[in-house]
Chains A and B, each alone.
Chain A
Amino acid sequence: MILGIETSCDETAAAVITDDGHVLASVVSSQADLHSRYGGVVPEIASRRHLDLVAPVVREALDSAGASLDGVSKVAVTQGPGLVGALLVGVSAAKAIAWARQLPLVPVDHLEGHVASLYLEPDPLEPPFVCLLVSGGHTLLLAVRERGSSERLGTTLDDAAGEAFDKGARLLGLRYPGGAEIDRIAQDGDPSAFPFPVARVPGLDFSFSGLKTALLYAVRDLGVEETERRRADLAASYQAAIVRALARRIDEAASATGLDGVAVVGGVAANSNLRAALPDVRFAPLDLCTDNAAMIASAARYVEALPYPGYLGLDAYPSFS
């Protein structure tokens, strides 16, 4: 069995999976409520919370898997990218657990973790495929030709798609995290009510800052009362523009690479409008879209483990390596 630990942002998570990719337990303790009044993740608050939760979450994962550390053959942990103070809580705890039991440790890249959410049973996806990773921090198009590695095709030039959702939600007076709120409210709105633009940038990159500005102007022009009254239309139109931008790039990436399979992972992959707009695309399981440790343990199956004592000095990396 593989024990996975993830603390890169605002979810403290631990999971136990079998060596062949069956999830025995996946525990995620979300801090979203803690951060909502700030409208985003506060790194120091997140790190303090991770310290409180890391051991209880690991214990709960082992308990609900009906397992103990005796049955664990390696420990996997998110090494980066993420908030460095948050990452260090998970990395330090994982190193300590591995060292105490003289187990190998597998440092996992968070982004490869998201991709590896597609490799878990009962319905694992086989490369090659084009993968769109969309979350609060990332908007990446990847070519995945084999498990455990990927080639970057495009990324966002400014805001991540999830960040665009969050910022849009704030302009509409909705709660953080904004993606789920916009998704919910947009159900009652007309996606063609407002002609929000989709930025045209070269290659396979993305840009969402212009869209956010367009919403800002729309809200300003409408005024407080009218914005309130047409909030569903604004949310639906704004969401539709983001979905359009993502869908178009997925198509272009598929043609550019000649890869048939397409998959979408990350927090924004839970968006119901995006799922509906892309019926032929493979989406990560709903419970594995937002950050979790099952995907980290899954990725560890395709990364070389560091045997004891090679990992004792292992450090976290905050941004892209």
Chain B
Amino acid sequence: MLVLAFDTATDVATSALLRDGGVLGERISVPRTLLEDLDALLRDVDAEPADVDALVVGTGPGSFTSTRIGLAVTRGLGLALDIPAAGVSTLDALAAARADVFPVIDARRREVFVLGPRAVEPDALELAPGAFCVGSGAVRYRPTLERMGAHVPPDDDELHVPHARFHASLARAFGPADAIQPIYVRAPDAKVSRSPA
């Protein structure tokens, strides 16, 4: 079974191609070029989109717009290939990289997303002494977290970036791609825009 997994919820796009659980390839780039990565992953093993049996997508939380890129790709692929998909939280995927890590995703507006999922101010986090914090929020709020007794690996550590192979390993409930919802956590800003209709 050929599985394509990806996550665009944060500033990076992670993607992986797996056959029966074994990782055939993995790529990291940016959300807007996700499909270039998916194309390269398949080409590397002489496969085509039509060979893919299932999709796994990261559902956030993260940036609203970039999370939706992965979800919209999933819906397009689900429709065009008629294959099932599963959603996996980006926080869960970050946490799956190592035992006992505490995932912290930058939520902008001086907040971070943590398991729950919920958005909190970094100062308000309740961390166990020596908590091992990873993710874009851990990098951004390193001084705050370290002051609270947490350990944050170096900025360039792989643990700060979600890896799609973990999404694939966590995926359980496969179903229609349309049914997978992003984890927004926050309600939309009700700011009216000029209508460009």
Contacts and interface: CB of A to CB of B under 8 A. Distances in A.
Interface stretch (A43-51, A227-235, A276-284, A296-304): A43-51
A312 B72 contact: no
A315 B78 CA distance: 21
Given A38-B190, A47-B65, A312-B36, A93 B72 contact: yes
B141 interface: no
B160 interface: no
Nearest to B186: A44
Interface in A82-113: 82-85, 88-90, 92-97, 99-102, 110
Given A9-B197, A99-B35, A89 B79 contact: no
Interface string A138-175: 10000000000000000000001011001000000000
B72 A92 contact: yes
A184 interface: no
Contacts of B12: none
Contacts of B50: 100
B80 A96 contact: yes
A5 to B, nearest CB: 9
Contacts of A39: 192
B116 interface: no
B178 to A, nearest CB: 5
B197 A162 contact: yes
Contact of A290 (B32, B76, B197): B197
B184 interface: yes
Contacts of A166: 195
B70 to A, nearest CB: 8
Contact of A45 (B39, B71, B190, B196): B190
Contact of B197 (A10, A38, A97, A100): A10
A267 B38 contact: no
Interface string A1-30: 000000011110000000000000000000
B80 A69 contact: yes
A312 B195 contact: no
Interface stretch (A55-63, A192-200, A213-221): A55-63
Nearest to B63: A85
Contacts of A138: 196
Contacts of B177: 55
A149 to B, nearest CB: 21
A96 B196 contact: no
B189 interface: yes
Given A55-B178, A312-B39, A96 B193 contact: no
A48 B177 CA distance: 15
Given A89-B72, A92-B72, A100-B81, A42 B190 contact: yes
A291 interface: yes
Interface residues on A, range: 35 or more
A105 to B, nearest CB: 10
A11 B197 contact: yes
Contacts of A51: 68, 71-72, 75, 182
Interface in B41-72: 48-50, 64-65, 68-69, 71-72
B194 interface: yes
Contact of B196 (A69, A83, A94): A83
B195 A163 contact: yes
A177 B64 CA distance: 26
Among A9, A41, A51, A137, the one with the most B-chain Cβ atoms within 10 Å of its Cβ is A51
A313 B178 contact: no
Interface in A68-82: 69, 81-82
Contacts of A9: 195-197
B170 interface: no
A310 to B, nearest CB: 11
A102 B49 contact: yes
Contacts of A100: 49-50, 76-77, 80-81
13 contacts: A9-B195, A10-B197, A42-B193, A44-B64, A51-B75, A82-B196, A92-B76, A93-B75, A100-B80, A135-B195, A135-B197, A137-B195, A309-B36
Interface of A: 8-11, 35, 38-45, 47-48, 51, 54-56, 58-59, 69, 81-85, 88-90, 92-97, 99-102, 110, 135-138, 160, 162-163, 166, 177, 266-267, 290-291, 309, 312-313, 315
Given A95-B76, A101-B80, A312-B36, 7 more contacts: A10-B195, A69-B80, A93-B73, A96-B75, A137-B195, A267-B197, A313-B32
In the A-B complex, the 7 residue pairs with the closest CB atoms: A96-B76, A137-B196, A40-B192, A136-B195, A100-B80, A44-B188, A92-B72
